[in-house]
């Protein structure tokens, strides 16, 4: 993709001078970001640095104290509700447990396309089917969500988000409750969405090693935004070290970046026989 061509389009998401907080407590201040389509961006940072708050605000679920957010070049508040929901899908960190079946949950992802009175169309079924196949949740289609394990539930919710077929996906910890192979599956899925579908994928990711397999990272620290750029820029600029108060170390293992504690864990000495 040529640089000029990329710049001629408005960014999928952009925010200017965003300040967000709960009551008088300011969580994020003066955040300006441009997030482009076709990339997977991972939001990383320690607990309480405002990853979820940032995603929620961009998703339009929290009013910012000040600043503006635009989706595809148009202010978030200027979009009609359902049109916005068709373009921007959000996955909560802990979606509720429900008595609905998996396919009923995924069908809710199609709400923005039909509205209250519409019946499910063939396109809706097709989108649901693709999303459930992609997340490997099709075999539980008729199971109740309350009878599924945490990881299975997470994949159903992910299928619900994919079924929206939105050009912007905001995912708050999509890999929680998943074992490492399934985490990798989700990461591959997000990359496919970004590269194949040209989707703007933004996800908060706790696991640093996984986050560093993304295209770009947004690094948040206790003091606010540390940086937004490619993984290379983040590594060269030591952003993660700054965010985690020098407690993490990134090692390059055959081109895969892995994190380890900066201070190696204490080991039991050879002669120590205590039980």
Partner 1 sequence: MSVLRPAVSIFGTGRSDAEMPHRLGTWVTCCLAITLLLTCGSLIIGTSSVETSLGWLLSPDAQSSVVLWQIRLPRTVGAWFAGALLGLSGAIAQGVFRNPLAEPYLLGTASGAALGVTLSLIAADASIGALAWTGKLGITGAACVGACAAIALTIGLSRGVLQTASLLLSGIVVAFLLGAVTSLLLLTKPDLWREMQVFLLGSTGFVSWSSATLLAAAFFVCAVPAVLLARGLDALTLGEETAQSLGLSLPMLRLTLLGVVSLGTATAVGQVGIVGFVGLVAPHLVRETLSVNHRQLLIGAALCGGALLQAADLLCRWIVRPAELPVGAVTAFVGGSYLTYLLWRRSRDG
Positions touching partner 1 (CB under 8 A) are 56, 59-61, 81-82, 84-86, 88-90, 92, 95-101, 104-105, 108-109, 111-112, 116-117, 142-144, 146-147, 157
Looking at the Cβ atoms of 36 and 86, the one nearer to partner 1 is: 86
Minimum CB distance to partner 1, residue 243 (Å):
26
> At its nearest, how many Å lie between partner 1 and the CB of residue 63?
12
Q: Which residues of 73-102 are buried (b: 16+ CB within 10 A; e: fewer)?
A: eeebeebeeeebbbbbbbbbeebeeeebbb
Nearer to partner 1, 169 or 186 (CB): 169
Distance, in Å, from the CA atom of 100 to the CA atom of 107, rounded to the nearest integer, reads 11
For the bound state, the minimum distance from the C-beta of residue 27 to partner 1, rounded and expressed in Å, comes to: 16
The CB-of-55 to partner 1 minimum distance in angstroms stands at 11
Nearest CB to partner 1, comparing residues 56 and 228: 56
Q: Are 243 and 220 in contact (CB under 8 A)?
A: yes
Beta bridge partners of 68: 16
Q: Which residue has the tokens 């960014």?
A: 11
Cβ nearer to partner 1, comparing 143 with 235: 143
């Amino acid at each position: 993709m040529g640089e000029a061509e990329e710049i001629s389009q408005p960014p999928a998401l952009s925010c200017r001078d965003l300040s967000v907080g709960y009551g008088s407590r300011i969580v994020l201040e003066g955040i300006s970001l441009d997030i482009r389509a076709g990339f997977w961006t991972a939001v990383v940072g320690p607990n309480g640095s405002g990853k979820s708050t940032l995603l929620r605000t961009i998703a339009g679920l929290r009013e910012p104290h000040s600043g503006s957010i635009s989706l595809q070049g148009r202010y978030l508040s200027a979009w009609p509700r359902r049109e916005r929901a068709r373009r921007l899908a959000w996955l909560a960190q802990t979606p509720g447990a429900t008595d609905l079946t998996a396919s009923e949950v995924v069908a809710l992802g199609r709400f923005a396309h039909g509205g209250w009175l519409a019946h499910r169309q063939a396109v809706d079924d097709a989108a649901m089917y693709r999303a459930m196949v992609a997340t490997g949740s099709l075999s539980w289609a008729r199971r109740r969500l309350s009878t599924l394990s945490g990881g299975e539930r997470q994949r159903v919710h992910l299928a619900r988000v994919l079924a929206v077929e939105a050009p912007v996906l905001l995912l708050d910890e999509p890999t929680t409750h998943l074992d490492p192979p399934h985490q990798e599956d989700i990461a591959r899925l997000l990359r496919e969405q970004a590269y194949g579908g040209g989707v703007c994928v933004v996800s908060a990711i706790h696991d640093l090693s996984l986050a560093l397999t993304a295209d770009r990272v947004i690094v948040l620290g206790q003091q606010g935004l540390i940086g937004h750029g490619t993984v290379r820029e983040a590594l060269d600029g030591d952003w993660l070290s700054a965010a985690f108060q020098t407690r993490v170390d990134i090692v390059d293992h055959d081109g895969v970046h892995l994190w380890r504690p900066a201070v190696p864990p204490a080991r039991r000495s050879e002669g120590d026989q205590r039980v």
